[in-house]
């Protein structure tokens, strides 16, 4: 019987299929090493250097495998192989291997492996097959663990209770009976009970919606516990439950060289939440809104049916549910196609100062967009002066970081600065004057290079400040409304009208941002369905008079309707319902047809849907009356 | 690249960037182009399979049997391997892969890999290293996915891995 330092070779799966001659040639390239208890054989995060062991075969003793994220992972026994991951992909070690007793291992050093690869093609081929097979066996083990964990309850169910919930902007509050389903089966059961009891349901994610999109008084379903996420690192497809946060998605995609084409700017926003509003982002000028990246959704409708919806399979449901404000069903999971980027990924931004709201159509429109470089403008509009920055950004491979302060959400000045700027308008103007006149001087010649997650989730600093203010009982008021303006010629007029109106009403504008939005697919309630244009967002930070502001924004909604545009439904919406019905007419007809079919009793509701589209309840009301 | 069209050549090249053009040709000749029809099962959980697929277009949905019916894991797209675990370790597939969106794939049977390793071991080695790299990427990702699972104190990873040994 062939042995290696007394251990039967046939019991080492990596070498089990080598012929006698192959084994003889390979054995010469192995070295025996001994370690004492607690010696570190492999250290997590370190690369394989020349002269270091590339792979290990445990011959006697036991080895503990641990990692920083998960603590203790497993125990290795004689005959098992380790170190293969870094050998296969050249990346740093994924875990630390620690001798649990006196240990003897056979190692193949990197140099010996390279020499083998250069001189003996057949033996190399046999060894590579052995390594691939061992990795496949390891994958099978982890797959079994993942399957087993999928069957176990993630946590003890929380009994439903009346709980106060509010919108992100605190403009809407309610005390619904809050349920936290953990699976599609639990959801279906809740739907069944709600239907028989004639209850109304509203869907919630992380509670970040600006208006009353996730607020209502009867039953509320928080989908945060449905947080399964599976990523294919090769094709960049990923399937996420509605409770998965975009922080989790982007953090897991990034090491494999993928990004979400239109990722929202706060990491705690959930997939279900953003999908229900078909969100837009700073990369929307080139990648469109979130819905464009969706390949399929698994939808549970109020009639209890669970359907897979794509552009070709139940397309009416696909186009109604994405951006559908949670009114036609619960997205149990959604599959997206990520966008490939070089790794490690950074974002390079060129910033140009543009102290005017004139000429933005040409600066930000389709003719100004090249390749995968996006562009957007941010403006502070004071009594006497406009301070604006036109920023063009693109993903790039690792370059030396030169972060832009707003893209450092964890920076220690961020929370106090955001809180102060939110509280005092004069400070906000002063901060912008500093940013525009001093910090950004010369920025057009020297690009900023941001960390991917810092750039993507730059609003996280704002969110942290709001949470800090909430904890301290301090006011932190925010409102935002977005309009889609179809023509460049109308853009300057709309901006001028809007700013004049706000000025006349004495409403201070915190920020104005503008970006190009390409025509969307026929998502029923998309603000860019059949309409390309400029997304204009007016941001207000407290203190301000909400009734005055609502009135001003309602007037702007009328203004945008008059020029063929729309009020975007993903943020605050101050608009006359008749104006909204006129803006969304064809999409609303399609949406209502789907809702009447799958939710004839109007079970899925929200204050927002009732306020903005009161006609959607007509069928349910007719049925109730009958 | 005489026998491969541009898209297919780009696909093989993207998966095996270390292979020269001639070597890619040798490798690609062992793969059979297959049309993917929605609903078609490529790999069935528990049923032995001797092939691996490289997806060129379309999508394939992967699921496993749960106590209340199939549990979808994810959809795979262009550039992904299907059936790689059972192809390599010769065990039964641990999941089912069904074509969701029509497209095409390249299928490699185990016998064709053996023949490649015999007749062109250098190309075979490079191809296997490509597979290793892709398996490693998936393994790192699955490890991350597993590590983020909430653990129940009474039945942790240790007991799941080692059962009675724990």
Q: What is the pLDDT of residue A436?
A: 85
Average pLDDT estimate for A488-516: 93
Q: What is the pLDDT of residue A622?
A: 61
Q: Which residues of A581-616 are buried (b: 16+ CB within 10 A; e: fewer)?
A: bebbeebbebbbebbbebbeebbbbbbbbbebbeeb
Look at residue A201 and tell me whether its pLDDT is greater than 70.
Answer: yes
Q: How confident is the model at residue B160 (pLDDT cuts 50, 70, 90)?
A: very low
Does B26 contact chain A (CB < 8 Å)?
Answer: no
> Considering CB atoms only, which of A185, A235, A310 is closest to B76?
A235
Q: How confident is the model at residue A52 (pLDDT cuts 50, 70, 90)?
A: confident
> Considering CB atoms only, which of B89, B129, B132 is closest to A137?
B89
User: What are the strands of the beta sheet with A71-76, ordered from one edge?
Assistant: A40-42, A96-99, A63-67, A71-76
How far apart are the C-alpha atoms of B120 and B9, rounded to whole Å? Answer: 19
Q: What is the pLDDT of residue A70?
A: 64
Phi, psi (deg, nearest 5) at residue A315: -65, -30
Helix (H) or strand (E) holding A466: helix A460-472
Phi, psi (deg, nearest 5) at residue A451: -60, 140
- Parallel, antiparallel or unpaired: strands A53-60 and A81-82: antiparallel
Phi, psi (deg, nearest 5) at residue A434: -65, -45
Q: Which residues pair with A179 in a beta bridge?
A: A221
Cβ neighbours, 10 Å, residue A432: 23
Mean pLDDT of chain A: 91
Q: What is the pLDDT of residue A363?
A: 93
Q: What is the pLDDT of residue B14?
A: 84
Q: What is the pLDDT of residue B154?
A: 37
- A-contacting residues in B 122-151 (Cβ below 8 Å): 122, 124-125, 128-129, 131-150
| ipTM beyond cut 0.95 | no
How far apart are the C-alpha atoms of B91 and B125, rounded to whole Å? Answer: 22
Contacts of B158 in chain A (CB under 8 A): 72, 74
Q: What is the pLDDT of residue A163?
A: 85
Per-residue model confidence as pLDDT tens digits over A318-334 = 999 999 999 999 999 99
Q: How confident is the model at residue B161 (pLDDT cuts 50, 70, 90)?
A: very low
User: What are the strands of the beta sheet with B32-36, ordered from one edge?
Assistant: B32-36, B103-109, B51-55, B81-82
Q: Where are the alpha helices (DSSP H) in B21-166?
A: 21-28, 84-89, 110-119, 121-147, 157-162
Which runs of E-coded beta strand occur in A100-236? 103-109, 161-162, 165-166, 173-174, 177-179, 201-204, 219-222, 229-231
Look at residue B145 and tell me whether its pLDDT is greater than 90.
Answer: no
Does B2 contact chain A (CB < 8 Å)?
Answer: no
CA end-to-end span of chain B: 54
Query: Could you tell me the CA-to-CA distances from A421 to A349, A477, A502, A545, B127 in Å, in that order?
Result: 24, 11, 19, 17, 57
| Of A230-234, A410-414, A447-451, minimum mean pLDDT range | A410-414
Average pLDDT estimate for A280-295: 96
Per-residue model confidence as pLDDT tens digits over A127-150 = 999 999 999 999 998 888 888 877
Q: What is the pLDDT of residue B70?
A: 86
> Considering CB atoms only, which of A90, A142, A144 is closest to B143?
A142
Share of chain A above pLDDT 70, in %: 96
Average pLDDT estimate for A351-371: 92
Does B41 contact chain A (CB < 8 Å)?
Answer: no
Q: What is the pLDDT of residue A435?
A: 86
C-alpha atoms less than 13 angstroms from C-alpha of A532 in its C-beta half-sphere: 13
Q: What is the pLDDT of residue B149?
A: 61
* Higher pLDDT among residues A156 and A296, named by residue: A296
Residue (of A50, A144, A57) closest to A97 by Cα position: A57
Which of A22, A25, A96, A125 has the highest number of chain B CBs within 10 A, making it the mutation to test binding with B? A125
Average pLDDT estimate for A55-69: 91
Look at residue B153 and tell me whether its pLDDT is greater than 50.
Answer: no
Look at residue B155 and tell me whether its pLDDT is greater than 60.
Answer: no
Look at residue A574 and tell me whether its pLDDT is greater than 80.
Answer: yes
Average pLDDT estimate for A111-115: 92
For residues A128 and A45, the answer to whether their CB atoms sit within 8 Å is no
| Of A292-296, A313-317, A375-379, B144-148, minimum mean pLDDT range | B144-148
Look at residue A152 and tell me whether its pLDDT is greater than 80.
Answer: no
Average pLDDT estimate for B62-74: 87
Q: What is the pLDDT of residue A158?
A: 64
Which of A19, A182, A235, A333 has the highest number of chain B CBs within 10 A, making it the mutation to test binding with B? A235
Does A131 contact chain B (CB < 8 Å)?
Answer: yes
- A145 SS3 class: helix
How far apart are the C-alpha atoms of A464 and A462, rounded to whole Å? Answer: 5
For residues A403 and A485, the answer to whether their CB atoms sit within 8 Å is no
Does A70 contact chain B (CB < 8 Å)?
Answer: yes
Average pLDDT estimate for A495-517: 93
Nearest-CA distance B72 → chain A (Å): 9
Q: How confident is the model at residue A498 (pLDDT cuts 50, 70, 90)?
A: very high
How far apart are the C-alpha atoms of B108 and B131, rounded to whole Å? Answer: 12
Q: What is the pLDDT of residue B159?
A: 38
Q: Where are the alpha helices (DSSP H) in A435-459?
A: 452-456
Structure token digits, residue A350: 């060129």
Q: What is the pLDDT of residue A621?
A: 63
Q: What is the pLDDT of residue A626?
A: 60
- B-contacting residues in A 280-299 (Cβ below 8 Å): 295-296, 298
For residues A301 and A188, the answer to whether their CB atoms sit within 8 Å is no
Task: Look at the block and give the residue holding tokens 């875990």.
Answer: A95
Q: What is the pLDDT of residue A410?
A: 85
């Amino acid at each position: 019987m062939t042995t290696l330092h007394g251990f039967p070779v046939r019991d080492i799966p990596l070498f089990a299929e080598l012929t006698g001659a192959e084994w003889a040639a390979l054995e010469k390239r192995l070295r025996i090493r001994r370690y004492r208890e607690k010696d570190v054989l492999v250290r997590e995060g370190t690369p394989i250097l020349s002269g270091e062991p590339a792979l290990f075969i445990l011959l006697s003793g036991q080895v503990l495998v641990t990692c920083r994220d998960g603590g203790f992972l497993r125990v290795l026994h004689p005959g098992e192989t380790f170190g293969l991951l870094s050998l296969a992909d050249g990346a740093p070690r994924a875990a630390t291997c620690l001798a649990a007793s006196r240990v003897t291992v056979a190692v193949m050093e990197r140099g010996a492996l390279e020499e083998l690869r250069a001189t003996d093609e057949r033996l190399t081929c046999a060894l590579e097959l052995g390594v691939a097979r061992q990795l496949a066996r390891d994958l099978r083990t982890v797959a079994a663990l993942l399957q087993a964990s999928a069957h176990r309850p993630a946590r003890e169910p929380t009994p439903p209770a009346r709980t106060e919930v509010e919108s992100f902007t605190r403009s809407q509050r309610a005390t619904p009976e809050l349920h936290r389903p953990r699976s599609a089966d639990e959801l279906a059961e809740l739907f069944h009970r709600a239907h028989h009891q004639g209850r109304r349901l509203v869907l919630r994610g992380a509670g970040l919606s600006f208006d009353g999109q996730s607020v209502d008084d009867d039953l509320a379903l928080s989908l945060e516990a449905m947080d399964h996420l599976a990523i294919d690192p090769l094709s960049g497809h990923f399937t996420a439950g509605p409770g998965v946060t975009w922080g989790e998605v982007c953090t897991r995609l990034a090491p494999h060289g993928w990004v979400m084409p239109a990722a929202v700017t706060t990491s705690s926003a959930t997939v279900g939440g953003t999908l229900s509003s078909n969100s837009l982002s700073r990369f929307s000028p080139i990648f469109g809104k979130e819905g464009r990246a969706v390949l399929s959704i698994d939808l549970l409708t109020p009639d209890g049916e669970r359907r897979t919806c794509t552009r070709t399979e139940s397309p009416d449901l696909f186009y109604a549910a994405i951006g559908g404000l949670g009114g036609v069903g619960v997205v149990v999971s959604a599959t997206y196609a990520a966008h490939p980027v070089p790794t490690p990924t950074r974002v390079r931004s060129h910033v140009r100062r543009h102290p005017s709201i004139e000429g933005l159509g040409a600066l930000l429109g389709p003719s100004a967009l090249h390749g995968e470089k996006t562009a957007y403008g941010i403006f502070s509009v004071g009594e006497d002066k406009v301070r604006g920055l036109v920023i063009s950004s693109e993903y790039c491979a690792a370059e030396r970081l030169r972060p832009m302060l707003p893209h450092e959400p964890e920076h220690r000045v961020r929370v106090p600065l955001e809180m102060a700027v939110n509280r005092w308008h004069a400070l906000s103007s002063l901060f912008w004057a500093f940013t525009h006149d001093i910090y950004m001087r010369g920025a057009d010649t020297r690009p900023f290079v941001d960390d991917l997650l810092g750039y993507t989730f730059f609003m996280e600093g704002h969110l942290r400040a709001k949470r800090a203010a909430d904890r301290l009982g301090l006011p932190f008021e925010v409102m935002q409304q977005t309009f889609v303006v179809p023509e460049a010629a109308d853009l300057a007029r709309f901006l001028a009208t809007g700013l004049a109106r706000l000025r006349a009403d004495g409403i201070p504008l915190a920020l104005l941002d503008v970006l190009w939005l390409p025509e969307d697919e026929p998502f029923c309630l998309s603000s860019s369905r059949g309409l390309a244009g400029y997304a204009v967002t007016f941001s207000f930070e407290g203190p301000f008079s909400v009734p005055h502001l609502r009135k001003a924004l309602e007037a702007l909604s009328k203004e945008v309707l008059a020029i063929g545009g729309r009020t975007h439904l993903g943020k605050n919406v101050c608009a006359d319902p008749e104006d909204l019905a006129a803006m969304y007419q064809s999409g609303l007809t399609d949406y209502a047809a789907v809702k009447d079919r799958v939710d004839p009793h109007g079970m899925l509701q929200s204050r927002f849907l009732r306020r903005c589209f009161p006609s959607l309840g007509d069928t349910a009301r007719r049925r109730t009356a009958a | 690249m005489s026998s491969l069209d541009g898209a297919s050549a780009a696909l093989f090249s993207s998966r095996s960037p270390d292979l020269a053009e001639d070597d890619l040709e040798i490798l690609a000749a062992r793969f059979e182009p297959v049309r993917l029809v929605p609903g078609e099962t490529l790999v069935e959980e528990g049923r032995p399979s001797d092939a691996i697929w490289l997806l060129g277009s379309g999508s394939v949905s992967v699921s496993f049997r749960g106590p209340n019916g199939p549990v979808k894991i994810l959809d795979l797209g262009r550039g992904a391997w299907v059936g790689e675990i059972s192809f390599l370790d010769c065990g039964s597939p641990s999941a089912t892969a069904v074509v969701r969106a029509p497209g095409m794939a390249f299928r490699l049977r185990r016998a064709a890999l053996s023949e490649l390793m015999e007749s062109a071991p250098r190309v075979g080695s490079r191809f296997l290293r490509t597979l290793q790299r892709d398996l490693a990427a998936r393994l790192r990702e699955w490890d991350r996915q597993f590590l983020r699972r909430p653990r129940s104190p009474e039945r942790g990873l240790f007991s799941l891995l080692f059962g009675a040994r724990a």
